[in-house]
Amino acid sequence: MSISLSRCVRTAGLVGAFMMTPYLGIHAGVVSAETIKAQLAFAPNVPPPIKRTEPATVLVNLTADEWLGPLSDDNNYEFWGFNKHTPGPMIRVMLGDTVEIRMKNDKNSKESHNIDFHAITGPGGGASLLNSEPGQESGGKFKMIIPGIFMYHCATASPSIPEHVANGMYGTIVVEPAGGLKPVDREYQITQSEFYTKEGAEKGETMEFSYEAGLDERPSHVVYNGHKTSLVKNPLKAKAGETVRIFFTNVGPNFVDSFQLLEKPFDRVYTEGSLAAPPAQNVKMTKVPTGGAVMVEFKVDKAGTYTLVDPVGNRKDLGAMGLLKVE
């Protein structure tokens, strides 16, 4: 049923991600040996855990967009991103799935865009097959042969690969191992990224990208989920006694991140995003390589406000902080 619907939609030429999005919710988690649509979720939310036990073909529709949006309460920035969000939507699939990706570049884009999936085995992580000029669409089919938490990002060489990442073109794909992840009470995603802007922008002005600041590794913003106060104004939520899982992706483009919960150690840390090895236990802080990820889990025993932070240097002041409210 879901297959034929998707066929009809495609035949009708309504394949753009905007049209697909409403359907994604309907078909998510449907058990099928054949073809299903990915349910995409925007940070800090995550798609639901995989309930299937058999691999499937999972359809993922992404658009590349360029838009003006708030980077902080004071300034806008011209974001480049996927599905008009920075970070782009999280994708959740299973080991052995074949992921069918369609990438449409919005007709109003100035740049060509592509996607390098760290979860894809093959040249460029799929980037050469998923390259789209403005107004064009491309696609590819890729088998997920390694489980883990992986970054995806644009890797177009013009004007430069780091510029596409610095402007917000990234997201996370989780490839669950066979048998799935152990269920927990709450799941969230956090993406830490730096923004490099030219100095001197007044309050209310749109900030401009600075290639030089990128080369010098002097960011103006180091943020969680694409905005300086995203997880301060809208804290994550949990109830006392619950176990919280966070998929944390460090997209850089430059910094190696340190991820810390100030009030208590993480109970379990899946170092460098590896789900194949047993986790480290009782970890006060974990380092996450650039272009890497980590999965952490912890039980919140007491009510209160917990703080997630990159404690290095002045990164917290630049935005690398989030709150978790436990009732």
Residues of this chain that interact with another protein (CB under 8 A) are: 98, 100, 102, 116, 118-127, 129, 138-143, 145-148, 150-151, 155, 160-162, 165, 214-217, 252-256, 271-277, 287, 289-293
- Residue 92 tokens read as 């959740």
Return the number of the residue (35 or 235) whose C-beta is nearest another protein. Answer: 35
CB of 283 to another protein, least distance (A): 15
Instruction: Determine phi and psi for 128, rounding to 5 degrees.
Output: -70, -30
Q: Shortest approach of another protein to residue 108 CB, angstroms?
A: 24
In the complex, minimum distance from the CB of residue 326 to another protein, in angstroms, rounded to a whole number = 31
Nearer to another protein, 29 or 162 (CB): 162
Q: In angstroms, what is the minimal distance from the CB of 132 to another protein? A: 12
Number of other residues whose CB lies within 10 A of the CB of residue 169: 28
Using the minimum distance from each CB to another protein, give the nearer residue, 40 or 155. Answer: 155
- Whichever of 7 and 302 has its CB closer to another protein, that residue is 7
- Identity at 242, one-letter amino acid code: E
CB of 123 to another protein, least distance (A): 3
Q: Supply the minimum distance, in Å, between the C-beta of residue 180 and another protein.
A: 16
Cβ distance to another protein smaller for residue 122 or 304 = 122
Nearer to another protein, 101 or 326 (CB): 101
